[in-house]
Amino acid sequence: MDESTLASRVERYLGSDIATFVHLTSRGWSQDPELRSELRRTSLRLAAAFARADDEVNPDRQLDALDETRGFADELEALVVVAMRVGVADATQVEELTRRLGHLRQCVQRRLSRNLAEMPELDDEA
């Protein structure tokens, strides 16, 4: 799946506020090529996990993909903090990405809650 497909899938679920989510980490805001590459790779993995959650019909696998999305969001946020601390990202850029990650987390949490509520309850007598 290419980057534009991932971005459009993220946009479909998260709205236009996140339309440029994957692109945020690939703009020239990091002078450190290794850090920029890691930011970009993590954001693409996050978007791919979120897209898998959208495609998956098996509820257990969808929950796994949503949980994986949440993990990548945490990882990406940690990388952004590192970028700011080493001086390759300014506060405005970090604030924007953090805001978008917060929106993503809220969306994932709503979907996790909805999916858990829709799952059939296990029979305690079985």
- CB neighbours (10 Å) of residue 111? 19
**pLDDT tens by residue, 54-107:** 766 777 788 888 888 888 888 888 877 777 777 666 677 777 777 777 877 888
Band of pLDDT at residue 23, cut at 50, 70 and 90: low
Banded pLDDT at 26 (limits 50, 70, 90): low
Q: Rounded to whole angstroms, how far apart are CA atoms 120 and 11?
A: 30
What percentage of the chain exceeds 70 in pLDDT?
Answer: 62
Give the per-residue pLDDT at 126: 47
CA distances from 125 to 25, 118, 121, 122 (A): 50, 20, 12, 9
User: For residue 11, what pLDDT band results from cuts at 50, 70 and 90?
Assistant: low
Q: 42 vs 38, 80, 91, 123, CA distance in Å?
A: 6, 11, 20, 39
**CATH code of the region 3-117:** 1.20.1440
Q: Please give the model's pTM, rounded to 2 decimal places.
A: 0.64
